[in-house]
Amino acid sequence: MLEVDFVICLTLITFVKSEVCQKLSACSCKTSDGVVDLSALQSFTNYKGPKGLYNNDWNPCIARPCGSMPNTDVSICQTEIKTGQASSYINGYLKTASFTGEVGKSLVLHYTGDNATLTSGVIKLRQSSISLICVSDSPSNDFTVQEQKGDVDYIFTLRSPHACLVPNPGLSAGSILLILFFVAVVVYIVGGILFLRFYRGASGVEMIPNYEFWKGFPLLVKDGMVFTFRGCKSDTTYSQI
């Protein structure tokens, strides 16, 4: 009995995995339904963090230099604000851009930069993460420096219509699945009625495919919901004989 309950519990609980946005370029990625493309964005320069100690520059698509450093493959550059001194740090190389998360919900653009020597003598790579938030009802692009997480991890946010998914021309994968589902339902019902009527001579409600199953289906759903809300535990109460 417990084995049966366990199988039912696994059947009732469905895990849906979100689709990863696959990288096309340093500033674009794709899913089966469309593309997120940041190529229309210009450079974001001189954005200060919460403490106002650094200027942060970000170019999502075109590599650029960082300060006086000769490297030109930079996407995110940070400049320390000091009187008479401006030290620059590479917080993200363009070639290291990668996308994680789900489009429209938790899409994040990650970068890896130069080595940084911490006060404890430990060497770590500088990291940058930019949350791409879709704002379809606004033409503006709002780029903000959120915070520094740890010693060399930096968090940014971009709210922009360019962070939204541009659908593929034609039907999306979800639309195709819905069409196939409803076609299968129609074939099941119509085909089942014709088969039962002309092959088995059924009439009335007997022509409904699997009538006995669908008749008891509401009770099965009720039992399944009760079983789920009970934490997938079987009822240990037995009647006395």
Do 79 and 133 lie in one domain? The reply is yes
* Domain's final residue, options 136, 167, 198: 167
Q: Residue 72 falls within a domain, yes or no?
A: yes
Mark whether 45 and 151 lie in a shared domain: yes
Does the pLDDT of residue 126 top 60, yes or no?
yes
What pLDDT does 14 receive? Answer: 35
Q: Are strands 69-80 and 64-66 parallel, antiparallel or unpaired?
A: antiparallel
More confident residue, 110 or 201: 110
Question: What does the pLDDT average to over 1-20?
Answer: 43
Does the pLDDT of residue 24 top 90, yes or no?
A: yes
Among 102, 99, 104, 156, residue whose Cα is nearest residue 133? 104
Residue 164 scores a pLDDT above 70 = yes
Q: How far apart are CA 47 and CA 85, in angstroms?
A: 18
Q: What is the CATH number of the domain that holds 124?
A: 2.70.130.10
Residues 102 and 201 in one domain: no
Whether residue 87 is predicted with pLDDT greater than 50 in this model: the reply is yes
Three-state SS string over the chain comes to CHHHHHHHHHHHCCCCCCCCCEEEECCEEECCCEEEECCCCCCEEEEECCCCCEEEEECCCCCEEECCEEEEEEEEEEEECECCECCEEEEEEHHHCEEECCCCCCCEEEEEEEEEECCCCCEEEEEEEEEEEECCCCCCCEEEEEEEECCCEEEEEEEEHHHCCEECCCCCHHHHHHHHHHHHHHHHHHHHHHHHHHCCCCCHHHHCCCHHHHHHHHHHHHHHHHHHHCCCCCCCCCCCC
* Span of 11-25, 109-123, 151-165, 206-220 with lowest mean pLDDT: 11-25
Q: What is the rounded CA–CA span in Å between residue 148 and residue 171?
A: 42
pLDDT at residue 118 in the model = 77
Cα separation, 131 vs 119, whole angstroms: 29
Q: What is the mean pLDDT of residues 189-214?
A: 86
Q: Are residues 83 and 131 in the same domain?
A: yes
Query: What percentage of the chain has pLDDT greater than the value 90?
Result: 35
Give residue-wise pLDDT tens across range 168-193: 876 666 777 888 889 998 998 899 88
190 and 112 inside one domain? no
Q: 141 with 200, same domain?
A: no
Q: Same domain, yes or no, for 116 and 220?
A: no
Tokens of 125: 């790579």
**Does residue 111 share a domain with residue 31?**
yes
Does pLDDT of 38 surpass 90? yes
Note whether residue 237 is domain-resident: no
Let me know whether 81 and 6 are in one domain.
no
> Which CA distances in Å does 37 have to 57, 126, 130, 165?
19, 25, 14, 8
Report yes or no on 235 lying in a domain: no
Residue 208 in any domain: the answer is yes
Q: How many residues does the chain have?
A: 241
Using the 3D structure, point to which of 126, 147, 167 is the last residue of a domain: 167
138 lies in the same domain as 221? no
- CA 91, 97, 101, 106 dihedral sign is positive
Question: Is residue 16 predicted with pLDDT exceeding 70?
Answer: no
Residue 202 belongs to what domain range? 2-15+170-229
Question: Would you say residue 240 lies in a domain?
Answer: no
Of 137, 152, 167, the residue at which a domain comes to its end is 167
In a domain, 238, yes or no: no
User: Are 151 and 174 within one domain?
Assistant: no
Residue 78 lies in a domain: yes
Most confident residue range from 35-39, 112-116, 192-196: 35-39
Domain count, the chain: 2
Residue 205 or 110, more confident: 110
Give the pLDDT of residue 236. Answer: 58
pLDDT at 235 > cutoff 70? no
Q: Are 104 and 42 in the same domain?
A: yes
Q: Which amino acid is at 212?
A: E
φ, ψ for residue 167, nearest 5 deg: -60, 150
- CA 13/CA 156 separation, integer angstroms: 36
* Residue range 79-100: mean pLDDT, rounded: 86
Query: Measured in whole angstroms, how far is the alpha carbon of residue 232 from the centre of its chain?
Result: 29
Amino acid at 127: Q
65 or 19, which is more confident? 65
77 lies in a domain? Answer: yes
